[in-house]
């Protein structure tokens, strides 16, 4: 084994009943390297992590650490060997302090008692190493997601981890938070820590990784130098086919105005917002942290109440007091958090799809299940949802297919005219992103008016006919597709003269934090 390698896996196979989750995969990690691991959902990445961390023993294959073969009987063995994982959703105890979370399972003892003074001191040292600006005595549940991830990294460092696995760490972070995470990862790399970085985001890989390994369908596809592989070739390796057009924006004859948001304001959140969208048009809505994008569409859809302004549909002023009013008018919102707000995860796909029309399916107090199944099957097929049965729970699907179910749900009711998509490709793999973009294009061809809120510059530029940019709770500009550039969008997103005035700028992030360009 190459002495430069700290970790090597050879021919790892893991089998669950009826499923080969890993099929002879290999992986090599160098000392002080950031190594990206990429692949579509279901490629085997999560199982691979659990093999490395001792959760699952492999049926076949060998694991070498520092050139010596090891066999982990459990997670304690891998921790003792210097391997730690930080997962996408931090596995923390919200009611306990930061210190308690860092030292959970390996508390420092002084005789029969826990040595709180030493633990608080060491926790502060670990957080200081990461430039964290919060006290280790703070309650974990009061921290942001980014701060909780810092605690998880500090916990890994408290075990003297030499290898840290980061699983989709930027999925729930804003752009500024992601930059801070990048800084921490580079710092750890420079200190000699080896890092396996799992992500769907190309920008993460290009920013951090030296090499990238691709898994597809539980198999090892290849390992590449990041600087030597093109994005197109990497995508082809991940999905097994060439995606010729990542943003399949069809040519659509834009119709007349469908939705107009006129001088809409909500004290403390946004002010004098004017946005319009026409039939067959995809309007992008973007901005930096606290811009107020989500808050605007929540007011349009009756989730919150605006203090001023009006919403017009086909020229007629609407009186929207509750979400059901917006739905009946033909305005539907696909929320940013599909698992918490878009789906009932334990329900079957069919029942999720028909949830908005349950009153229509009721006959004399009984549900018309035959008609429900037909509607659900037709809508799921229309968006090419990959599932065995409409009775499968939403939990059984990948992120991309869950998003398709949310789209199918929005189309199940008749009379839908406006579809608002809040971060429609958040947390989905590159192949599913292309499929969702294709669905958006098909919806535009059918004449739906679409508003797409997005923090991802490539999809804003690639899919929008027009782009509205917000800063500090105000719309600072609108760009046509032909003139839009990343520089122009960022200029409008940081337009200080608009952001500095008015009450909206003081609290534009409201109760829910936006994403960031």
Most confident of 84-88, 311-315, 439-443: 311-315
Residue 376 dihedral angles phi and psi, to the nearest 5°: -60, -45
The reported pLDDT for the residue numbered 455 is: 84
We report the CATH number of the domain holding residue 35 as 3.40.50.300
Residue 201 domain flag: yes
Q: Which residues contact 231 (CB under 8 A, 6 or more apart)?
A: 202
Domain coverage including residue 211: 5-239
DSSP 387: -
Residue 54 pLDDT > 60, yes or no?
A: yes
Residue 360 domain flag: yes
How far is Cα 231 from Cα 202, in angstroms, rounded to an integer?
Answer: 8
Same domain, 168 and 274: no
Same domain, 89 and 226: yes
Same domain, 221 and 340: no
Same domain, 156 and 287: no
Residue 514 pLDDT > 80, yes or no?
A: no
Same domain, 84 and 141: yes
pLDDT in tens, 321-336: 999 999 999 999 999 8
pLDDT in tens, 16-31: 887 889 999 999 999 9
- From first CA to last CA, the distance across the chain in angstroms is 43
pTM of the model: 0.67
Single residue among 178, 211, 239 that ends a domain in this structure: 239
Spatial CA neighbour of 334 closest among 458, 450, 467:
450
Single residue among 204, 239, 274 that ends a domain in this structure: 239
Q: Which two tokens stand for residue 161?
A: 């981890």
Q: Tell me the pLDDT of the chain averaged across its residues.
A: 88
| H/E run at residue 19 | strand 19-30
**Residue 352 Cα to chain centre, angstroms:** 21
Looking at residues 228-240, what average pLDDT do you find? 87
Residue 158 domain flag: yes
pLDDT band of 456, cuts 50, 70, 90: confident
The reported pLDDT for the residue numbered 412 is: 87
């Amino acid at each position: 084994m190459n002495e430069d390698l700290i970790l090597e896996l050879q021919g790892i196979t893991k089998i669950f009943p009826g499923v080969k989750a890993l099929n002879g995969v290999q992986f090599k990690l160098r000392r002080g390297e950031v190594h990206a691991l990429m692949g579509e959902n279901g490629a085997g990445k999560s199982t691979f992590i659990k093999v490395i961390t001792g959760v699952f023993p492999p049926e076949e294959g060998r694991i070498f650490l520092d050139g010596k073969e090891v066999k982990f009987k459990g997670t304690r063995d891998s921790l003792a060997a210097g391997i730690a994982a930080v997962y996408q959703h931090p596995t923390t105890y919200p009611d306990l302090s930061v210190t308690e979370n860092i030292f959970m399972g390996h508390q420092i003892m002084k005789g029969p008692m826990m040595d709180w003074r030493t633990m608080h001191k060491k926790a502060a040292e670990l957080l200081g190493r990461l430039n964290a600006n919060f006290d280790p005595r703070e309650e974990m549940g009061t921290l942001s997601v980014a701060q909780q991830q810092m605690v998880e990294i500090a916990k890994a460092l408290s075990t003297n981890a030499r290898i840290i696995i980061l699983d989709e760490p930027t999925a729930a972070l804003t752009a500024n938070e992601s930059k801070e995470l990048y800084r921490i990862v580079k710092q750890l790399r420079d200190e000699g820590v080896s890092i396996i970085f799992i992500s769907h985001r190309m920008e993460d890989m290009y920013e951090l990784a030296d090499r990238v390994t691709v898994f597809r369908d539980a198999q090892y596809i290849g390992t590449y130098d990041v600087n030597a592989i093109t994005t197109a070739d990497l995508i082809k390796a991940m999905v097994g086919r060439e995606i010729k057009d990542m943003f399949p924006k069809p040519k659509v004859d834009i119709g007349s105005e469908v939705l107009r948001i006129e001088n809409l304001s909500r004290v403390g959140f946004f002010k004098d917002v004017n946005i319009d969208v026409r039939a067959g048009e995809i309007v992008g809505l973007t901005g930096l942290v606290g811009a107020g994008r989500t808050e605007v569409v929540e007011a349009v859809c009756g989730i919150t109440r605006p203090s001023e302004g009006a919403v017009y549909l086909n020229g007629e002023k609407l009186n929207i007091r509750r979400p059901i009013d917006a739905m009946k008018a033909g305005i539907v919102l696909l929320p940013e958090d599909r698992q918490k707000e878009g789906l009932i995860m334990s329900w079957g796909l069919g029942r999720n799809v028909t949830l908005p029309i349950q009153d229509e399916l009721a006959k004399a107090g009984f549900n018309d299940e035959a008609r429900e199944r037909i509607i659900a099957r037709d809508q799921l097929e229309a968006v090419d949802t990959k599932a065995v049965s409409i009775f499968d729970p939403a939990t059984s699907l990948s992120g991309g297919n869950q998003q398709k179910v949310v789209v199918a749900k929005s189309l199940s009711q008749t009379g839908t005219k406006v579809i608002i998509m809040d971060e429609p490709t958040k947390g989905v793999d590159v192949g599913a992103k292309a499929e969702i973009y294709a669905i958006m294009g098909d919806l535009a061809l059918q004449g739906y008016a679409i508003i797409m809120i997005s923090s991802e510059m490539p999809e804003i530029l690639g899919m929008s006919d027009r782009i509205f940019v917000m800063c500090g709770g105000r719309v600072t500009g609108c760009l046509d597709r032909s003139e839009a550039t990343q520089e122009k969008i960022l200029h409008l997103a940081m337009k200080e003269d608009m952001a500095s005035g008015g009450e909206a700028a003081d609290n534009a992030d409201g109760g829910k934090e936006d994403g960031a360009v």
